[in-house]
Amino acid sequence: MRRRLALVLAPSIVGAAGCAAVLGLPDPAVKEGDGSASEAGHDAVDDGVGADAACGPTASIGCPVDTLFCESFEAPQLPSQWESHFSAADPPALARPPCSASAFGSHALHVGADAGDGGSASSYLQRGLRLEDGGDLPPGTTLGVRAYVFVAAPLASSGPTLLLVQGPGPAENAGLQASSSGMFVFVHTFADAGTVLAAPSALPLNRWVCVQWQITPKNTTLVVDERSLGNESMPPTAFSQGLRFFDIGLIGFDGAQGASVYFDEVAVAMTVPPACR
């Protein structure tokens, strides 16, 4: 059964930015997302975007040690550990990026939609955050995320959420939001809702950037291309029941404007964010 996403607009973002699978840890001997035919999944590769063969894509970064999971999106299909969610948008799909986006391997995750009739649209993947015994990550967990992001079309002023971590409760989440004017980390708890970190630097167009985001019981940090964009305190009530889901894609973008973003080389750890290449 799919879990319905509950997002609340962060009061300090309004007007500038809108605001299951059960799995264990991967076998440490097997690198996920390596293109193995045994990775049953859904949404086969979309070759319509078409990479220029002359570009010669480079090899994937690989899976760092001590990660909960990592994903290079090189399998023939989306691995079954990921659950697809989409509304008023194209479903998430593996795609051959344009020549300029062929940075890691030959494929990446593509999410977005052409400009439409307006309203809020979403297209993202969701994966469980689980211990080996199947339980949620406990309260007090540190979570570090690394993701390479390629924005292929301008983001709206009320930009989408790119990365989202959810707790067991319907209103417990923290997300990284990007817009035409900057990036924001918002946190929703049972007692609070709002922006805890605002960075005036917007994601650049048409090039890969390495995003590293960390949440701890005390603070959240954001680093883009090894440049620190902020380190701010977390609400004391954040994730009081632990962590359950990780989402990546475009959540809540402007359907009238459309969007096109690629993601690659995703790694999630219970430590500092995995390193960029």
Given a cut of 80, whether residue 97 has pLDDT beyond it is no
| Confidence band for 102, pLDDT divided at 50, 70 and 90 | low
| Confidence band for 103, pLDDT divided at 50, 70 and 90 | low
> Would you say 71 and 276 are in contact if contact means Cβ atoms under 8 Å apart?
no
The residue that leads in pLDDT, 115 or 263, is 263
Q: What are 196's two structure tokens? A: 């805890």
Given a cut of 80, whether residue 117 has pLDDT beyond it is no
C-alpha closest to that of 218 among 234, 204, 230, 229: 234
Q: What is the pLDDT of residue 214?
A: 98
| Confidence band for 107, pLDDT divided at 50, 70 and 90 | confident
Domain 44-51+64-269 CATH (choose: 2.60.120.200, 3.40.50.2300, 3.40.309.10, 3.40.50.11740):
2.60.120.200
**Measured CA angle at 190 (ends 188, 191), to 5 deg:** 90
| Confidence band for 99, pLDDT divided at 50, 70 and 90 | low
Q: What is the pLDDT of residue 100?
A: 56
pLDDT tens digits, one per residue of 170-197: 789 999 999 999 999 999 988 787 889 9
Average pLDDT, the chain: 79
Given a cut of 50, whether residue 34 has pLDDT beyond it is no
C-alpha closest to that of 248 among 134, 129, 135: 129
Q: Domain map of the chain by residue range?
A: 44-51+64-269
Average pLDDT of the segment spanning 246-263: 91
Q: What is the pLDDT of residue 141?
A: 96
Q: What are 95's two structure tokens? A: 């795609």
CB atoms within 10 A of CB 6: 12
